[in-house]
Amino acid sequence: MSKPNIKRGAGIALAAILAAGVSTVAVQAAQKPIVIGVTAEMATIPGKAIANGATLAVQQINAAGGINGRPIKLIIEDNHISTTDAIRSFQRMTRQDHAVAILGAFTSEVALAVEPWSARLHEPFLITGAASNKLAEYVHADYAQRKYIFHAYLPAAYLAQAVCDSTKDLLVPMHMTTAVVLSEDAAWTKPLDAGYDNCLPKVGVKVLGNIRFDPNTTDFTPIYQKIEAMHPSMIMAGWAHVGVQPTVQWAEQKVPVALVGINAQAGSSLFWKATNGATEGVLTGNTSAPGVAITPKTIPFTDAYNKAFGSDPAYSAYSTYDAMYALAAAIKREKSTKPNAIVAGLEKTDMVGTQGRLEFQGKSAKFTHALRYGPGFITGVAIQWQNGVQKCVWPLKLANAKVVFPSFVTASK
C-alpha cells in the first residue's frame, strides 16, 4: 500500500479554501450596493418631486433585482437652494459616500455652480429639473473635460418652443394674439424669454412687453395693473421658483388676462391646495401629465407615484424617474460603475420613458448631452386646471379636455 501524498492533499484543501474565499468575495462584490446621490431643493414642490421620483425608481429597480444583481443605495441631500450647500453636498456624496453618480437640481443657479465640480471630480451628474440653456452649452464648450454632465431635462429654448407650438394650436384660434411676457428673474428665464420673443410672433402672437420680477416679490398688484394697461390677451409666464403668490393674486384680483406659459409648480396636484384653488383656469406647459398615456409608462408611473406620495407628480418627478432608469440601464449595459463607462452608457441611451423617447444629444450638438426634443422624442404637453383637476389640452391627439378660462378672463371672449 502506498503512502498518502500529504502535500498534494494539503494543496487541494488549500485550493478549495481559496476558491471558496474568492467565490465569497465575488458574491459580496456583486451584492455590494451601488450608491447614487440626489441633490434637491426639498422645501419646494419641484425639489421634493425630484427626491420622490428618484425614490420610486430605485424602489422599483431594487425590487426587480437591482443592477446586475446589486441593489441601489440612494442618498438624498437637501441643497436648500444654496450654491454653497449644493457644492459641499456634491463633494461629500462623491468623496465620502462614493456615489457613482448624482441626480437632481431644479434651480439653474445651483446646477451651474455644481457643473464645474462634476468635471473636476469626474462625477456623472444628471440634471433633472433645471432648464438654463447654459447647462448643456457648458458641456459643448469643453466636451473632453465636461462629458460627465447630462442635462436630463429640456433646455429653456425647447420649453419656449413647446409653449409656442401649443399656443398656435390652442389660443391663436381663440383670437388670443397678444401677450406680455412675465418671468421671474432667474438664469433659466433669460433664454426662455428670448425664446418667447423669437417664436411667438412666428405663430401669430405679438409680444407687447417683457416684465421680469424679483422672485422675492410679494405684491404683484402694480405688475398686474401695468399689464392690464397694455390690454394683452395673455400673460405668458416663466415661473418655477415662485408660483403661489402671483397665481393667488391673479385670481383674487380677477385679472382679466389669461394666465398661460410655464407655471412649473402648477404641474403638481399639490398646487391646488397651496393656492386654495386659485389655480383654476391656469394653463401651463409640462413634460407629462397624469392620466394621459404619452407612452405606455406614463400612467403606471403617475398611479404608482400618487399611491406612494399622495399627489400627482410635478414635472421634475417625471424627468428624475426617467433619468434614474437611464442611469441604471447605462451601468447595466457597460457592466461598470466607472465614470467613463457610465458616460459611454448614457450616450447610448435610447429608451421609452414617461415623457417620451429619451436620447441624449451628441458632442457636436449645441446642447451637448441634453435630451432630444421634437416629434418622436419629447415634445411636452399643456395642462389646464379645470374644476380642481389637471386636464391635458395639448397635444390635441392626447387632449382629454378643451381650454376653458375663468369668467373674469375677458381676453378669451
CB 315 within 8 A of CB 371: no
| Length of the chain measured in residues | 413
How would you classify the pairing of strands 101-104 and 125-127?
parallel
Distance (Å, whole) CA 410 – CA 413:
5
The DSSP element (H or E) to which 401 belongs, if any, is none
What pTM, to 2 d.p., does this model score? 0.89
Cross-strand partners of 385: 390
Give the distance from CA 108 to its chain's centroid: 11
SS3 129: coil
Grade residue 207 by pLDDT with cuts at 50, 70 and 90. very high
Residue 221 pLDDT more than 50?
yes
Tell me, what's the pLDDT at 15? 52
Chain-wide mean pLDDT for the chain? 92
Domain 31-154+296-358 shares a fold with domain 157-286+380-412: yes
Residue range 120-138: average pLDDT? Answer: 97
Q: What are the tens digits of pLDDT across the range 298-348?
A: 999 999 999 999 998 999 999 999 999 999 999 999 999 999 999 999 999
CB 227 within 8 A of CB 255: yes
CATH architecture of 31-154+296-358: 3-Layer(aba) Sandwich (3.40)
Distance (Å, whole) CA 248 – CA 246:
6
Q: What are the tens digits of pLDDT across the range 72-99?
A: 999 999 999 999 999 999 999 999 999 9
Tell me, what's the pLDDT at 269? 86
**What are the DSSP calls for 173-225, one per residue?**
GGT--EEEEEEESSTTHHHHHHHHHHHTGGGT-EEEEEEEE-TT----HHHHH
Fold of 157-286+380-412: Rossmann fold (3.40.50)
* Domains in the chain: boundaries: 31-154+296-358, 157-286+380-412
